[in-house]
A and B are shown apart, each in its own frame.
Chain A
Amino acid sequence: MTQSDILLAEAPGPAVPPARRRRRRPLAAIPYVIIGIYVLAAAIGPVLIDYDPVATEVTERLLPPGSATESGTAWLGTDAVGRDVLAQVVYGARTSFIIGIAVVTLCGLIGVALGAIAGYSGGLSDAVVSRTIDILMAFPGILLAIVIAGLLERGMHVVIIALSVGGWVGFARLSRSITMSTRERDWVDAARIMGVSKSATLTRHIVPFLAGSVVALATIELASAVLSEAALSFLGLGLPPDIVSWGQAIAGGREHLGTAWWITVFPGTALTILVICIGLVGDRLTRRFTRKRD
């Protein structure tokens, strides 16, 4: 929750146009380009590469990168049951994005709604939301996810639910505090005085001011959701075997780390680079939306 703490520091002001004096820094574009490549791979890769996660080819086990196989060249090698590692990386990217985006969307919607209502209404609803947040924050999020994923049937939706249960807390805390400060602004009073209803005031005069900070937090939460999904899959929880995941691929290569390093290293590198890039983008957005107004 440390990232959301940074975001809590300063509520956003009225829409400040982006600074024109910003210098051109070509290096700054790198994380965006890399994330773009991942998105592209996740979107069109499975169309180009044919892969069946439950088909095994005993004769093509543990082939090093670049080996020729029956169906072509295994550029990143094959794993212990003869499946193509490149295909696992590409299909795994798709799984990571689907789960990550679903988790962040769900958490964002729940968190913003609860946080905004709690911050605007105060009183009982604020107390209920705040205490729930306190309780959830007392557990490590991944522990909660492990328990839930372990108890339920395997499936993608189970992973999404398991990761969302604790994930909305950051959004709720952020939204609550920004709402509480925005509520005191004069235009909110003006809207009330115009006889605008409570819900319309909240959605039209307060929630739009959450957007910047929520997007910044969503980016950071996306990185952590991708990482958590991989962790769950590594532990063999949540996703069924017919859904390819980086976590499963890494776990599958663990026994052959000494001899067939490529099984673990390629999915692991893919995961690491993606999480680092999303984190960099998130940090930049956070800085931008929490920057002090002059």
Chain B
Amino acid sequence: MTDQYSSTAAAPAAGDAAPAPGAPLLRVEDLEVVLPSGATPGVVIDKVSFVVDAGRTTGLIGESGSGKTMSAMSIVGLLPPEAETAGRVTWRSEDLLTAAAHRLRQVRGREIGVIFQDPLAALNPIQTIGRQIGEILRRGGMSRRQVRARVLELLDRVGIPDPDDRIDVYPHEMSGGMRQRVMIAMALAGEPQLIIADEPTTALDVTTQARILRLLADLREQEHMAMLLVSHDLRVMAHVADDVVVMYAGRVAERGPAREVLEHPRHPYTRALANNVPAVSTKSAIAEPLQGAPANPFDRPTGCAFHPRCPMARDRCRIEVPVLREVERGRFSACHYATELAS
């Protein structure tokens, strides 16, 4: 699943070209999001590029404030109203950043579905879940009866027992895991080709997390969808993602196939993250926690944003911003010394 395009080159005509067979479903190129907060505008997303291939799960990973959620939400245009964007978000062959509002509304829900982090907050408390799941279907011109039948089917699909009883229930009457299943059913209702899942399991307990992740993986496979999974949880990523994009301070630190990236990191930040996950089975001592606090995208360190916390930082890292480059087939890293990490 390697693509020929290199993020550093930023192919100028990529937006106009018809999608070649095997081209990625979604291609984010040099995405920039600027938030004008106070006197100095903060470049919270700085030249982020990644791709989501059809039929695969791409994970966006990073600490809080690394810009992973904002990168994902800018795809569907869910940003603060004052935010300014630059770059390209190519969905099949059209740029979503410059798409007309009515076109964006067609894409949302119908072609790209979104699962939110906190299902209780993301469900309208005064509407039954059946009504909320069916909203997009009604808009599509289905009759009341068809909508209900389809909603029941969707509830069954996401593993909610007794859909007939549950369809007329309000969100507060359900458990957290069931609510998240409702959110997933809502996202599935439009039969999207891509699902953006923003920390879909963070608000759930561990056993429920595992069930929801399995459900997502199954659905992705059966419905032939692609998924963009946003999470800070490396274990979740290791289980579900095919490709990962590691973000730090609004920039991509590293991306590539999930297993390779997590097992053989080519960026010191990924390595620190991977080392921090205690392996449950081996009872190993928790490795060196990462020193210092995550960089603030509003006040990013010069050069490589990670250099104040990096164990192998050198003078060059303080001055020169490392570009994301292909260090190995399919592997991209934004570290000056990525090759050293390989050995």
Contacts and interface: CB of A to CB of B under 8 A. Distances in A.
A208 B108 contact: no
Interface in A135-163: none
Interface stretch (A98-106, A171-179, A182-190, A217-225): A182-190
A192 interface: yes
Given A14-B172, A194-B186, A209 B126 contact: yes
Nearest to A206: B124
B126 A14 contact: yes
Contacts of B183: 190
A191 B78 contact: no
7 contacts: A14-B125, A14-B126, A187-B124, A192-B108, A194-B135, A195-B106, A195-B108
A191 B135 contact: yes
Among all A-B residue pairs, the 7 with the closest Cβ atoms: A14-B125, A195-B109, A186-B121, A195-B108, A194-B109, A186-B122, A187-B124
Give the interface size class of chain A.
20 to 34
Nearest to A188: B124
Contact of B118 (A15, A186, A195, A208): A186
Given A194-B186, A197-B105, 9 more contacts: A14-B172, A187-B122, A187-B125, A190-B123, A190-B186, A193-B78, A193-B108, A195-B106, A205-B124
Contacts of A122: 81
A181 to B, nearest CB: 14
Nearest to B110: A195
B78 A192 contact: yes
Contact of B114 (A190, A196, A197, A209): A190
A209 B127 CA distance: 11
A187 B135 contact: no
Interface in B86-115: 105-110, 114
Given A15-B125, A205-B124, A186 B108 contact: no
Give the interface size class of chain B.
20 to 34
A204 interface: yes
Contacts of A191: 124, 135
B74 to A, nearest CB: 12
Contacts of A190: 114, 116, 122-124, 183, 186
A14 B121 CA distance: 10
B190 interface: yes
Contact of B139 (A185, A192, A196, A209): A196
A208 B132 CA distance: 14
Interface of A: 14-15, 122, 185-187, 189-197, 200, 204-205, 208-209
A204 B76 CA distance: 21
Contacts of A14: 125-126, 172
Interface of B: 76, 78, 81, 105-110, 114, 116, 118, 121-127, 135-136, 139, 172, 183, 186, 189-190
Nearest to A185: B121
Contact of B78 (A189, A204, A209): A189
B126 to A, nearest CB: 5
A183 to B, nearest CB: 10
Most chain A Cβ neighbours within 10 Å, of B107, B110, B135? B135
Nearest to B186: A194
A205 B132 CA distance: 10
Most chain A Cβ neighbours within 10 Å, of B122, B124, B125, B172? B124
B109 A193 contact: yes
Contacts of B76: 193
A190 to B, nearest CB: 4
Most chain B Cβ neighbours within 10 Å, of A122, A189, A197, A209? A189
A250 to B, nearest CB: 45
A190 B78 CA distance: 10
A191 B116 CA distance: 11
B109 A186 contact: no
A60 B249 CA distance: 91
Contact of A195 (B121, B124, B125, B136): B136
A197 B105 CA distance: 8
B122 A189 contact: yes
Given A189-B78, A204-B127, A195 B122 contact: no
Nearest to B106: A195
A205 to B, nearest CB: 5
Given A14-B125, A186-B116, A194 B78 contact: no
Nearest to B111: A195
A194 B121 contact: no
A128 B76 CA distance: 30
Contacts of B190: 194-195
Nearest to B104: A195
A236 B181 CA distance: 65
Most chain A Cβ neighbours within 10 Å, of B78, B122, B136? B122
